[in-house]
Amino acid sequence: MTLTIRHLEPADYGPIIRVLDAWWGGRRMADMLPRLFFVHFRPTSFAAEADGKLAGFLAGFRSQTHREQAYIHFVGVDPAFRAAGVGRALYERFFEAVRALGVSEVHGVTSPVNTGSLAFHAAMGFELLTGEAGAAYDGPGEPRVRLRKRI
């Protein structure tokens, strides 16, 4: 497999939104990924293509409030390409891009029931943060686990 990582483009929005919910086993996820990531955060958002086919994407940005921090908002990998290094390649490309902007730590959140995500982030060197990460981090009924990696 030849994997290519490139910046997300506005034209990627439609193809990604069409497959996003299916990549999550039918869970409604598309509402969490607005088009603005494909327009305004292109320098820190990436698509992965395996032999010319969309294999995954990462939407992230450098914090405007805490310039030493970056945030990974959304990552998706086609189930056919999971465990093939696509997620790791996307994260490494993001780390490279934000490190060049002076970022020293990367943050993200995930659901506490998403054991696959928790295991992936642990393998990537993320630590779990405590404190405000409780049951109401993203509002009532939306428990999240906060994650951080120093880069």
Q: Check whether 132 has a pLDDT greater than 60.
A: no
Neighbours of 26 (CB within 10 A): 8
Q: Give the residue among 86, 92, 77, 124 at the shortest CA–CA distance from 1.
A: 86
**CATH of span 1-103:** 3.40.630.30
pLDDT digits (tens, 9 = 90+) for 49-101: 999 999 999 999 999 999 999 999 999 999 999 999 999 999 999 999 999 99
DSSP string, 79-142: GGGTTTTHHHHHHHHHHHHHHTTT--EEEEEE-TT-HHHHHHHHHTT-EEE-STTSTTTTSTT-
Model confidence band, residue 114 (pLDDT cutoffs 50, 70, 90): confident
Percent of the chain with pLDDT over 70: 95
Model confidence band, residue 144 (pLDDT cutoffs 50, 70, 90): confident
Instruction: Show me where the domains of the chain are located.
Output: 1-103, 105-151
**Mean pLDDT value across residues 115-119:** 92
CA dist., res. 36 & res. 125, Å (int)? 28
